[in-house]
């Protein structure tokens, strides 16, 4: 089981693909690196991919101290060092998108491009929940395990999509993408949310120098699509795609279109 041992953490990571552009994939709050599986399966044929569990999540561990987005970004860059990757395309979903932005600020020469899915410039902005998002978040905290996961499904996917495939399929997708006890708000998830609350963004100039792709869902309750619009205003050169029938879990709902957008993005960015 490949691991990267740091002074204050141990990161579980995996790789796939033997040729093509290098892509580092970063996940968000409570998600494990394997949450990228739909994209991994499609891109590994002609891309070299790496993904990992953020410190304290899944099979990664840390010392339990305060988290920051900057620290998580340094972890991503440390993994690139460990792999011998001088440069790579960086893609992130949700909090992972903020980690990618910070990594590009810390080391802009290491990023060939950035892919920013369902994310925001500033972590603190995503904690201003709508009434429905707050209600669903509360439902995740009480009751039987299955009921909690169904509430989480309602938070991530629009109801028409859930009705079309069924709660069982949607919950199975989420369980495969998040840490086992996510709906019970384990300490690491609370620490990640605290890191978001402290995150006030940063200089966007390094990102404006990089090819960028922004993807959002119109029905995103966790990171409202207006925050992706704000990101777009600060990265006016970015390619932008809004899925009008999707929510926060757009990479799981629209697998083939997302894979195609990422493939086109990497090709247009070069390397």
* Residue 138 placed within a domain: no
Of 24, 95, 13, 25, give the one whose Cα is nearest residue 53: 13
pLDDT tens-digit readout, 105-123: 999 999 999 999 999 999 9
* Residue 153 placed within a domain: no
**pLDDT at position 133 over 90:** no
Task: Average the pLDDT over 196-206 and give the result.
Answer: 96
Distance CA 59, CA 203 (A): 32
**pLDDT at position 205 over 90:** yes
* Residue 100 placed within a domain: yes
% of the chain surpassing 90 pLDDT: 93
* Residue 176 placed within a domain: no
* Residue 177 placed within a domain: no
pLDDT at 200: 96
Rounded mean pLDDT of the chain? 96
Helix (H, G, I), strand (E, B) or coil at 236: coil
* Residue 217 placed within a domain: yes
Burial of 175 (0-12, 13-18, 19+ CB in 10 A): middle
Number of domains present in the structure of the chain: 1
**Cα four-point dihedral sign 168, 174, 180, 184:** negative
* Residue 81 placed within a domain: yes
Give the largest Cα separation in the chain, rounded. 49
Both structure tokens of 243: 């899925």
Backbone angles phi, psi at 18, to 5 degrees: -120, -5
**pLDDT at position 87 over 90:** yes
Angle at 102 between CA 69 and CA 175, to 5 degrees: 55
What is the residue range of 67's domain? 3-126+187-269
pLDDT at 271: 66
* Residue 179 placed within a domain: no
pTM: predicted TM-score of the whole model, two decimal places? 0.97
**pLDDT at position 216 over 80:** yes
**pLDDT at position 189 over 90:** yes
Q: Residue 63 sits in a domain of what CATH number?
A: 3.40.50.1820
**pLDDT at position 146 over 80:** yes
């Amino acid at each position: 089981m490949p691991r990267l041992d740091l002074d204050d953490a141990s990161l579980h990571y995996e790789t796939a693909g033997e040729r093509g552009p290098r892509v580092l994939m970063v996940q968000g709050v409570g998600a494990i690196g394997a949450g990228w599986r739909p994209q991994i399966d499609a891109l590994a044929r002609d891309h070299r991919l790496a993904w990992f569990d953020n410190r304290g999540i899944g099979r990664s561990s840390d010392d339990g101290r305060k988290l920051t987005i900057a620290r998580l970004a340094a972890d991503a860059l440390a993994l690139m060092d460990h792999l011998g990757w001088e440069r790579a395309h960086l893609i992130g979903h949700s909090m992972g998108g903020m980690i990618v932005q910070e990594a590009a600020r810390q080391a802009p020469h290491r990023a060939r491009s950035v892919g920013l899915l369902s994310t925001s410039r500033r972590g603190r902005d995503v904690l201003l929940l709508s009434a429905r998002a707050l209600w669903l978040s509360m439902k995740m905290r009480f009751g039987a395990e299955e009921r909690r996961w169904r509430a989480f499904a309602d938070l991530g996917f629009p109801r028409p999509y859930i009705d079309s495939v069924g709660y069982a399929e949607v919950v199975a997708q989420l369980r495969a993408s998040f840490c086992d006890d996510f709906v019970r708000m384990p300490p690491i998830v609370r620490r990640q949310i605290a890191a978001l609350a402290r995150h006030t963004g940063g200089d966007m100039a390094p990102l404006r120098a990089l090819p960028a792709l922004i993807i959002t869902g119109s029905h995103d309750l966790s990171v409202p699509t207006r925050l992706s619009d704000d990101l777009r205003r600060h990265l006016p050169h970015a390619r932008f795609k809004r899925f009008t029938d999707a929510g926060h879990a757009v990479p799981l709902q629209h697998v083939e279109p997302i894979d195609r957008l990422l493939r086109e993005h990497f090709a247009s960015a070069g390397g």
